[in-house]
Amino acid sequence: MNTPTKKTFILSCFMALLTTTLIIGSGCADKRRITTIGVVNTNPGLEGIIKGFKDGMAEHGYVEGGNVVYIYNGTISDDKAIDAEIQGMLDRKADLLLTVTTHVAQRAKALTAGTNTPVVFAPVFFAVESGIVADLKRPGGNLTGMQIGGNTQKALEWHLTAAPRTRRMLVPYNDEEAAARQSLGELKEAARKLKVALVIVPVKNEDELRGAIEKNVRKTDSMWVLNSHFNIGNIKTFSNAGIRFKIPVSSGTSQLGLGMLISYGQKPYSTGKKAARLASSILSGIPPREIPVETVDYYLGINLATARAIGALIPDDMLAQAHEIVRK
């Protein structure tokens, strides 16, 4: 065999091998990459959001323990701890942050300013009014997510259906919180429309809250829990006071399980799943600034145990319309 024949043979074999390698290799590209998601939550009542988020992410191909790692150290309430937690996640190069509650989202916005770390909030109270995004359709920054708000009127209507004798309503209020201010504004409008007088009592801490309730509860026939970081953190104080003083306590938040008589708010699990859809879009390459902020769905919840405890009678047709009924 002369030299050109050898060369031809070797070249043919090489080309065949190369072609085979390329073809086989092209179908086996490694798409696996570990995604890190940091979660910051200040409300233990909203753990359902995190669960819904994780389940939703799994439906979109981000399976915990597989290709995604969650950094979540449980609920925290201290501002410094919140900032430290967020900063720690940024230091660990988290691919995305999930914030639960308006306050956390505000902190995350401040700490991620100037970075490209995307933040999904689930939820915040009135995202624009809270200063978290500039526009619902085009958030414009590195944050997007779910918002709540606008449900207070309907919540109050349901409350009045369950407690039709309500004329004066006690409303403890921490005016340092933007969410509380906005929530109060909504409540005032609803109360005016539904002819309910509000007894608004400013509070700064739990003690003041207890004192305000003690002092004013007998002057009113109902109590309302505004959407605010402070109130959510002291939700048991509200519900316990309601049972103690046998007055209906309701809220536009989803705190049914913590003793509220009537709750008309989000389903945390559902909100979490929706937030997961937004996070999935972000991780697939769509920038948060182009993903509209969505508003959560509201669900009616009735706690019949609380109703029994305070002696309230819930109409059957109302029960028929409830999404969730706590009977025990």
Partner 1 sequence: MANYSLRTRLKTAFIGLAVAPLLVMGMSLVWLSHDIEMKQAIEMQNEVSRRVAAQIEAYLHLVEHELNLAARINPIMDMAPAAQRKVISRLRSFHNPDHEEIYDEVALMDRKGAVAAIASRTIVYNGAGLGSRAASDEFTIPFTKQRTYYSPIRFDSKTGEPFITVALPIIVLKTGRARGVLSVVVRLRDIRNFVSNLNIGERGLAYVVDKTGVVVVHRNPSVVLKGTVFKLPERPGAGNGLDGEKAVISFTPITLGDAVYHVVTERPLAEATALPMRIVVVTLLVVVAALVGVVSLAMLVSRQIIRPLERLADTAQSIENGALELKAGHTGTYELDALADAFNGMAGRLISNITALRYHIKGRDETAKKLEKKGAELEAANIRLEKEFADKLSAQRALADSHKRLLAVLNSLDAAVYVSDMKTYEILFANALVTSLFGDVVGKTCWRVLQSGQTEPCSFCTNDKLLDKNGQPTGVYEWESKNTTNGQWYAIHDRAIKWIDGKQVKLEIAYDITEKKRLEAGKFRSDKLAAMGTLAAGIAHEINNPLTNASLTIELLKGKLKCCGDKAEEILQKVVEVESNIDRAALIAKELLQFSRQKALQFVETDVNEVIGAAIASIQYKLDGVTLTKDLAGLPPISADPGRLRQVFINVLNNAADATPKGGNIKIAAISDESHVTISITDTGIGVAQADSLRVFEPFFSTKEIGQGAGLGLSISYGIIIQHSGTIDFSSEVGKGAAVTIKLPIRGEA
Residues that bind partner 1 (CB under 8 A): 1, 5, 8-9, 12-13, 15-16, 19-20, 23, 27, 136-137, 147, 150-151, 153-154, 156-157, 190, 193-194, 274, 277-278, 281, 290-292, 294-298, 317, 320-321, 323
Give the nearest distance from C-beta 156 to partner 1 in angstroms. 7
Give the nearest distance from C-beta 71 to partner 1 in angstroms. 26
47, 63, 172, 185 from 225: Cα distances, Å = 19, 37, 7, 13
Going by C-beta distance under 8 Å and a sequence separation of 6 or more, which residues neighbour residue 116? 142
Give me the amino acid identity at 55: D
* DSSP symbols for 72-133: E------HHHHHHHHHHHHHTT-SEEEEESHHHHHHHHHHHTTS---EEEEEEESTTTTTS-
Query: Nearer to partner 1 by C-beta: 43 or 151?
Result: 151
Enter the tokens of residue 311: 């002696």
| β-strands 119-125, 262-265 pairing | unpaired
Give the nearest distance from C-beta 77 to partner 1 in angstroms. 29
Q: Does residue 68 contact residue 74 with C-beta atoms inside 8 Å?
A: no
Query: Nearer to partner 1 by C-beta: 193 or 236?
Result: 193
Query: Nearer to partner 1 by C-beta: 99 or 295?
Result: 295
- The C-alpha R_g of the chain, in whole angstroms, comes to 26
| β-strands 222-225, 249-251 pairing | parallel
- Compute the half-sphere exposure of residue 250: CA atoms within 13 Å on the CB side of its CA: 31
Enter the tokens of residue 225: 């829990």
Query: Nearer to partner 1 by C-beta: 61 or 131?
Result: 61
Give CA–CA dist 71/200, Å, rounded. Answer: 39
Give the nearest distance from C-beta 13 to partner 1 in angstroms. 6
Give CA–CA dist 54/102, Å, rounded. Answer: 20
Q: Where are the alpha helices (DSSP H) in 224-267?
A: 229-233, 235-245
Query: Nearer to partner 1 by C-beta: 45 or 123?
Result: 123
Give the nearest distance from C-beta 177 to partner 1 in angstroms. 22
Query: Nearer to partner 1 by C-beta: 90 or 325?
Result: 325
DSSP state of 218: G
Query: Nearer to partner 1 by C-beta: 239 or 280?
Result: 280
Give the nearest distance from C-beta 279 to partner 1 in angstroms. 12
Give CA–CA dist 194/168, Å, rounded. Answer: 11
Give the nearest distance from C-beta 305 to partner 1 in angstroms. 20
Give the nearest distance from C-beta 204 to partner 1 in angstroms. 31
Give the nearest distance from C-beta 190 to partner 1 in angstroms. 7
Give me the amino acid identity at 24: I
Query: Nearer to partner 1 by C-beta: 59 or 79?
Result: 59
Query: Nearer to partner 1 by C-beta: 42 or 251?
Result: 251
Q: Does residue 134 contact residue 114 with C-beta atoms inside 8 Å?
A: no
